[in-house]
Amino acid sequence: LEQLEKPFGVVVNRTGLGDERVYDWLEEKQIPLLMKIPFDKNIARIYSQSRLLVREDPSYATRFLDLLKTIEGLCKK
Q: Each residue of 2-38: pLDDT tens digit?
A: 788 888 999 999 998 877 899 999 999 999 999 999 9
Q: Is 12 helix (H, G, I), strand (E, B) or coil?
A: strand
Please report the pLDDT score of residue 58 as a whole number: 92
pLDDT at 1 over 80: no
Give the domain range for residue 31. 2-75
42, 66, 67, 68, 71 from 39: Cα distances, Å: 9, 20, 18, 21, 23
The count of structural domains within the chain is 1
DSSP letters along 17-35, please?
SS--HHHHHHHHHT--EEE
